[in-house]
Every structure is written in C-alpha cells, then in structure tokens.
C-alpha cells in the first residue's frame, strides 16, 4: 500500500503541475496581448492629440469649392502616397432646410502647399504633405450626378484625416 499511495500522489502532483503551467501560460499570454493592445491604443490617441487642423472654406460655386487646411498641430499630415492614393477624405454637404445632399470626395485637387502666413510655396510633386505651420489649398468638385449648389445653400465641408481627426467649415454661396 505504501508504494501505490506514493505513486498515486506523484501522478496527482504531475496533473496539478500540468494544469498550473497551462493556466499560467494562458494568463501571461493574455496579459502580454492586453499590454500590446493598450500600447497600440495609447499610440493612436497620442497621434490624434498631436494632430490639429483647421479648415476654412475660401469659395464656393455651383459645382466646386476651394478650402484651406492649416496644420496647427505637431504631426505631419500626409495627403498622398507615391501612387497618388489620397489618404484623407473630404465630406461635402450642401442644401437648405428642405433638402440636403452629402458626398464623400476622394478625388480632390491640391492647388498649393505653403508656409502659413507667407507666400512661400512648395513643389507639389515632392511636397504632398503639410508639416506643422504649413497650409494647403484644395479644390474639390461635386460629383457629376449631384445637383448644383444653389445660391444661398449652406455648404458644409469636413476634412477627415487618416488619423481620425476632423476639421469643418461652412459657407454660403454668394449670388
């Protein structure tokens, strides 16, 4: 009986060690994944906090609008990659109390990039981003299937950056 009790106790001990090591491994792996997720979240929030932009609607016509976007934060905002893909989206809404039209605009045209408050411009082929203290003038057209912007329509334009930061501006088309 002495040997069988020792053997049974040894088997139970090995079972407890196996269960304990499995639970411990799962716990530490879960904590590591939670730590990675928390770090990613904090980095994304830091990027959002460092990205600050202002949008001004410069002009509106029946089929197009021009806006100025100023980078007032501490992070560079990239507009296009080398293939010409626009990283940011512009949301155009216009209308009156009776009817509103909203469109997402991906095909906007960058007119110029310059240092804010100066006339110093950059070459658009090599400078398709706005650093802190710079501004960009953009022209956007309404989609071809969209009705024209009527005089006295309120035009609302929102620039949504790839970081999730937005800037908005409104204007009324003059007669």
Please tell me the predicted confidence (pLDDT) of residue 175.
Answer: 47
pTM for the structure as a whole: 0.73
**pLDDT lower than 70: segments of the chain:** 1-2, 81-84, 174-175
Q: What is the pLDDT of residues 52-62, one digit of tens each?
A: 899 999 999 99
Q: What is the pLDDT of residues 32-45, one digit of tens each?
A: 999 999 998 888 77
Cα 58 to Cα 151: distance, rounded to the nearest angstrom: 16
Given the candidates 1.10.1060, 1.10.10, 2.60.40, 2.40.50, the CATH classification of the domain at 53-172 is: 2.60.40
Please tell me the predicted confidence (pLDDT) of residue 79.
Answer: 82
């Amino acid at each position: 009986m002495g040997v069988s009790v020792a053997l049974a106790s040894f088997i139970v001990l090995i079972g407890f060690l196996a269960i304990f090591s499995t639970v411990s491994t799962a716990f530490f792996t879960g904590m590591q994944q939670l730590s990675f997720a928390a770090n990613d979240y904090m980095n994304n929030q830091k990027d959002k906090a460092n990205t600050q932009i202002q949008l001004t609607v410069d002009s509106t016509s029946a089929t197009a609008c021009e806006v100025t976007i100023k980078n007032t934060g501490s992070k560079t905002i990239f507009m296009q990659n080398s293939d010409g893909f626009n990283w940011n989206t512009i949301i155009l809404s216009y209308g009156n109390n009776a009817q509103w039209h909203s469109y997402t605009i991906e095909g906007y045209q960058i007119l110029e990039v310059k240092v804010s408050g100066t006339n110093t411009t950059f070459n658009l082929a090599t400078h398709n981003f706005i650093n802190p203290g710079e501004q960009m003038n953009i022209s956007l057209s309404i989609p071809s299937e969209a009705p024209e912007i009527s005089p006295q329509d309120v035009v609302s334009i929102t620039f949504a950056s790839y970081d999730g930061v937005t800037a908005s501006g409104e204007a009324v088309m003059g007669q």
